[in-house]
Each structure stands twice: as C-alpha cells, then as structure tokens.
Structure 1
C-alpha cells in the first residue's frame, strides 16, 4: 500500500506532438481552461518527479521512499527539513541525473513545481512562497495570463513559446547540440482539489524529446551546475 498518493497523470493538449502510447490527451481542454480565472505557464523540465514529505523522499511510486544514487543530495536535504514541513508534500523536478536533455544554465538540481496539502493543491503563489521558505527554486515561470478568450490565439502562443530554448539553455544529451525546451505545463494559478487535477493542469511536449531507455540508470551522469560550489543543495 502506498504511503501517500503519487502525482497525477498530466493530460496532454490535443495539439501536443510528444505523446506516447500510454499518455492521456485532454480533448476538451478548452472547456476546462475557459473556467479558470488565472493560468500560469511554466517550463517543463527533463528530470525525475520527486516528492518530499514527512515520510521521506519518493520517486514516481509512493509505495516506499526512493534510494537511488541520484536522489542522495535531495535525501540529505530532506533530513534538514523533515520536521518542519508538516502535512505539505513538496514536488520537485530532480535534475541531478542527466536524462535526454543537458542544461547548460543550471543553477540548482531541484526545482519545485507543485505542493500538495491534504486534498488540495496549493496555489502558485503559495507554492512560490513555501519554495522560498525552503530555499528551493521553482521551475521557470514563463507567464501568468487571465482566462484566454480565443482558442486559436492561445494555441499559437504556446507553439511560439515552446519554439524557444527556455531559461536553462537545453542541449541534446547525446549530440551536445542546442535544442528547444522540452515543453510547457499550464496550471490553474489558484488552489484546486486533488480530485480535480485533470481539469486544472495540462502540458505540451515537443516530439522526440525522450531518448533514454530502460538502461539509462546504468551509465547515468551528474548534471553540472552553472556555478559549481556555493550553497546549493548538492553541496550540503
């Protein structure tokens, strides 16, 4: 039995080209978005979904705390905050191990993208607040927008955004060549119920972004930070 509930499956926009056979698509996304007062676009990062709670540090499965070597740094950090987070569950993108993208402007290995408390996901403002209290960055924020009025313009804007490189200077981990950002995550900027996750969070992922296979963990590499040393979680 899982110790806690894992992060929900994020539905793709129907115009997202990076879907795989087991991905889910939200064909009625416009209906959902039209009911949300404020949206925030954040950059989708190529890492591992980790959750920090009072019970430990979890990877995708919440059946038991993770023990992987690339979570050693975040597990060490967790020891220093585990008595202070109460019922909060802090979800971070763990970029310590390089996957398909190697970032050349990486200032930290762990980026907060969501926080859950009981049966609610906290607002983006609350997420930023608690991340700051924990001395962790949030995933790059692209823009905050009011309810979009025209679907075509909304989709065009996403395509234009995802044609850029993003904030962390992504490069193909195998060729070393510059690439565009992996994608974008759009979420309700307000708080919403855990049960309503699928109608409040959506993503666009570029085609061919995944180049790792099931054997990547045998020869994984540590991601180099822009400024090695300093006061990053990795060095504690």
Structure 2
C-alpha cells in the first residue's frame, strides 16, 4: 500500500437511480448496504476532490499537475497543515474554479468557503464516523458540505431527495453510512467504495466539450460577507 499521505480518495459508485453516469462510471447494484442503518446524505458539489495532510495537499491523484486555480487551496493548506495530526488526511471538495455548475449569488448557491470537507481519515486509514468527522472539522475550523439528510435509511428516501435537487443549482448528493468506514482493499474492492458510500449525479452534469482546466479560470462566488482570503 502507498504511504497514507499519498492515497487517492476511493472511487465512488453511482446509486441505482443516478442519471448522470459517464462512459467510465459504475453503478451500485442495489441499496442493500444502507438498509437498516443511519445514513448521512450530503450535497455533491461540482468541484475538485482534494486531500489535505500535514505534509501536502493534492487533488484526487497525488501526482496531480500544478495549475493556477490551485493557488488558493495551497494557501489554505499552509494555514491548516500544522493542526492536522500526523498520519491523518482530510478529504473535501475544492470549489474555487467553476467547472460545469456555477456557484453565484444570483443563483442563490454562493459558497460559504472554497473548501468544504466531507471526510477525515485516521492513522489506520479508516474514514471516521460522521459525528467524529464533524468534531474534527470543528477543531480544524473546516466548513463541512451541506447535509441534506441525517437519519435512518427508508424506502423512498432517495427518490424524495432526487426530486428535490435543482439541477441548475446543485450537482447531486452523496449517501454514506454514519459509521466509520475502512479504506476499501482486497480483491475487487481496492480503492473503490462498493459498499457504504454512493452518489447521485444530475443528468448531463458535464456541460462543456473541453475540460475546465484547459480554459480561463472563472472563480465561483462566495456568500456575501465571506472573505476570499484562505
């Protein structure tokens, strides 16, 4: 296994009803992993999955190339790094650059921060339970992603959440069990959440022909009164 500070965030499968699959995406075959459990549903943000460690910050791939849009997160990490315990990783969505979905005050979805956390990994490479995750975010002064549901999984939950998504303002949502989740390993599971975490993504969520990094960087907007200083 790679050093704990160099691991990618595991690949997340789509929920059975997710309309936003691309050619290389996979779909969870059923909702069985969530039945009878407390689940946390958070908004899926249209940004860049990013990791913070005490040593460095990197996008989904630890060897991701440098890009001008990542200057903000580098400064943010420099301010947070000394407070992240040795061997721990923070996972979150980096939202400075506009991808396919715009976050603006006019649309009513302006951001509370350019980095929103959604996971914390401990030194034994376990994703903390949700309550412990929020405690760590509070200690580190990291804003979490918006929570859409916190409670038991029940029939109809995903359909209700999907119906409430505004595709002009929201990318989708992610469902996870509230319990701690080990980093997925072993034959057929390595590096991918086949149970415990899955996502719903809006239809046609990739709205451009070229990758966002190939054009000019267009910053998303922050909520009124929120400083853009990392």
TM > 0.5 fold call: yes
Shift of 1:180: 4.4
**1:207 aligned partner:** 203
2:229 aligns with: 235
**Structure 2 residue aligned with 1:191, among 180, 204, 215?**
180
Give the conservation status (yes or no) of the 8 Å contact 2:112–2:226. Answer: no
Deviation of the 1:75 alpha carbon: 1.0
Question: Is the deviation greater in 111-120 or in 79-88?
Answer: 79-88
Distance 2:211 2:35 in 1: 42
For residues 163-182 of structure 1, the aligned pairs below 5 Å read 164=166, 179-182=168-171
Instruction: Provide the rounded CA distance (Å) in 1 between the counterparts of 2:55 and 2:209.
Output: 30
Q: Deviations over 1:199-234 (max 9, x none)?
A: 00011111111123444223121122122563xxx4
Residue by residue over 1:122-155, the C-alpha shift from the partner in whole angstroms, topping out at 9 and shown as x without a partner, is 111122121122222101101112132x3xx234
CA 1:212 to 1:89, structure 2 compared with 1: closer, same or farther past 3 Å? farther
| 2:78 corresponds to 1:94 | no
2:221 corresponds to 1:220:
no
RMSD: 2.1
- Unpaired runs of 5+ residues, structure 2, are 105-109, 186-192
Distance 1:78 1:180, change over 3 A: closer
Counterpart-to-counterpart distance in 2, 1:229 and 1:42: 22
CA deviation profile, 1:62-93 (whole Å, cap 9, x unmatched): 136x5322221221121222222122211111
Q: 1:128 to 1:212 in 2, by over 3 A?
A: farther
What are the superposed Cα offsets for residues 21-45 of structure 1, whole Å, 9 maximum, x if unpaired? 10011113x221125x210111001
Q: Secondary structure at the match of 1:55?
A: coil
Which secondary structure state, in structure 2, belongs to the residue aligned with residue 128 of structure 1? helix
Runs of 4+ that moved beyond 3 A:
212-215
Q: Which residue of 2 is the match for residue 72 of structure 1?
A: 71
- The residue number in structure 2 matching 1:56 is 56
**1:195 aligned counterpart, secondary structure:** coil
| Count of residue pairs the alignment pairs up | 213
The normalised TM-score by structure 2 is 0.84
Cα deviation code 1:180-201 (max 9, x no counterpart): 4211100111112112732000
Distance 1:157 1:229, change over 3 A: closer
In the aligned structure 2, how far is the partner of 1:124 from the partner of 1:67? 32
